[in-house]
Amino acid sequence: MFRKTIHLSTRGEGQIINISPQVEEAVRESTLVSGLVTIFATGSTAAVTTIEYEDGVLADFLRALKTFAPDEANYGHNTRWGDGNGRSHVKASVIGPSITIPFQKGVMMCGTWQQIVFVELDVRKSRERTVVITVIGDTS
């Protein structure tokens, strides 16, 4: 097993960061030939997924999230804590904090246009985020 932690400085809600290069680097550093890589975002208002990292798709994705969990909706979390990020928690829960991707011959088995992304969903202007990458597999 090999584990690597990466740190991201985000600008706030709606920022989508392509972390494929960092994950590919972790798989290479592991020296494992085949196996699985899990990417986990710590925090309850952030998520990890795959998407085609293209401006149109990214805009469509963010628009869909706003439709699913609109800014102006009444969230019980906001009533309880008063921090205004109820929608952030809902969106993060739906997308999920982690993904697992197989790799073979040291290369992730992603589709041609499939990139791994970190999604910042908190309403704050900026955050320091941590992503844990864990690689498990075989050396031959």
What does the H/E/C string look like for 12-79?
Answer: CCCCEEECHHHHHHHHHHHCCCEEEEEEEECCCCEEEEEECCCHHHHHHHHHHHHHHCCCCCCCHHHH
* Sign, CA torsion 100/102/105/108: negative
CATH of domain 2-138: 2.60.120.460
Query: What's the whole-model pTM score?
Result: 0.95
pLDDT of residue 63: 97
pLDDT over 90 at 113, yes or no: yes
Domain boundaries, the chain: 2-138
Q: What is the mean pLDDT of residues 59-72?
A: 95
pLDDT at position 56 is: 98
